[in-house]
Structure 1
Amino acid sequence: MNPLIGIAVNLLPDLAKRLTGGAKPETTDLVLSVVREVLKTDDPEEARLRVQDAELTAELRVKLAEIDAAQKAQEDAAEQAQRQNELDQIRARLDAEAAKRDAEFRELTARVSDRQDARSTFEGLAKESSPFAWGPVVVSVIVSAGFFITLIFLIRGGFEAAATDPVVFQVVNIAVGALTAGFATVVSFWLGSSDGSRRKDLSAAHAQTAAVALQRENAEATRRIVSEQTRQTAELLDKVTRQPAPVAPTQQIAQTQAVASEQPGKDALQFTRSLETIFKHEGGYVDHPDDPGGATNMGITHKTLAAWRGNPVTRDDVRNMSREEAGEIYRANYWNALSCDALPSGVDLVVFDFGVNAGVSRAAKLLQRIVHVEQDGQVGPITVGAAKAIDAEHIVSSFSDGRMEHYRSLRIWDTFKNGWTRRTKETREAALAMIRA
């Protein structure tokens, strides 16, 4: 096995089952291509050295996970196609059986109808005193007489006499068979099969048709169940392999709190320490004419406060806002929204502080850019996992650099550059101190 494959399997053990045994060559080639692309080498020894880089490792792990998810999706699709083919075969067989039963039922119905038509015709001729009405009577008498005469002949010793000559014996057999069939037809014509027998025949035919219909319904129900199970499997796979879709703010808070709860034992005072940094940077009440946020107190703008309280607020409301209420807003709207409880210590502070200063979505996307995951503005399990796989100091430094790039792109950079630069520097230093503590 190619040593580069071994590196891939070590990073993502789930790939082992796809790269061994009857693995498709294209899957192996794809994995090798990704490893070479990310590590930028074909040499196994050099690749082992480069995989020690946490950032490269995180990027490679994400791409390998995408390959694994794609292969799983293909397998599920193939299995679904096989199930569908089996269901189609069952349906075809049931349709053929139903057609056969329908044909038998139609044949039985036709025989009964023909017999009834013959009787009706005879009754009509008899009522009109037509000489043709005697036709069935004469034929019936001749056939019945022939049958009984032959029967008496055989009983009185004719059978033994005919047995001495093979030709005569064969002729007698044919005659007896024909007369017996004719006599049965006569009896059926005049007396008919019993009404109970006819009902029994019709009931049996209907029962067979109903049974076939029931089988078809069961097959269709089975197909629907299989389709639903396949759909649920695909949805589950999609949830596992993709970032969560954007949700409403209240749902987002609950979701990120759930993510944070996955990291037990984290210092419960981390939010309080980070909040003190925010308060230090934001200061008290300000209403700078060039600040797009307008009237602000402890970093909470009048728009944010109005949204939090659910009604318009005045400048005095902003000025008189309590420190406790500001802390509640920061926790719900920024700390929880960015899953800071789940992020590594230090990383949580820089993400939190930038989210407060520039917006939750922008802070989330900057973090996602640094950890090499999809930039959807939602810090979910994949983003958190990638952040944990990379050196925290590297994230803090790269995040701070990216933050400054954003500030420099703003038209009000000249007005606020000193404050933004100082804030970014102090936040970086505080975050690094948390990491090294």
Structure 2
Amino acid sequence: MSPIIGLLLQYAPELIGMFAGDRAGAAAGKVADVAKVVFGTDDPKAAQAQIQAAPKLAEVFVEQARPALEVFRLELQDAQYARQQAIPLAQTGPAISWGAPLVSILVTVMFVGALYLVLSLPLALDERQATVANILLGVLGAAMTQVINYWLGSSSGSKRSGDAVRTIAERAIAETVLPRKVGP
């Protein structure tokens, strides 16, 4: 077996990160976890020695790493599709390209206006009107959150937290389902 597998194990996180950016960390971590399960180590030289002793291990590694890489490929494809979708819309004419900005402005103005009415003006509302005003303010607040997420993206801290929980769950599953070490 060629030394390419050892090099991939050693440099996979850096290579994937270089080509794919921040989203790549999870995929690189999954591949490294699979390597650790299959080879019993995360040291590329030790893994390469095991591959030379038992070439079947390389095939096992590739098969077990394939789902993680496929999920990563689909995530990249999804992000690329979302970016490409905006290009034809902008090229069809100025009216359609202003759709998202106009909705964003409308939601922002409505939210700020409703917030101003509720907080600064002394309104004499009966119970039913107060309930409707609270519901309206809540809906506009949620819409404002969506506008912010559309333009700025969702919280990277939230994404990191979700990725950490996902990694812990995947490791727990890997420890109970996947074999600890495959070999002679």
Judging by fraction of residues, say which structure has more helix.
2
Tell which has more relative contact order, 1 or 2 (C-alpha 8 A, sep 6+). 2
What is the TM-score when the length of structure 1 is the normalising length?
Answer: 0.22
Of structures 1 and 2, the larger Rg is shown by: 1
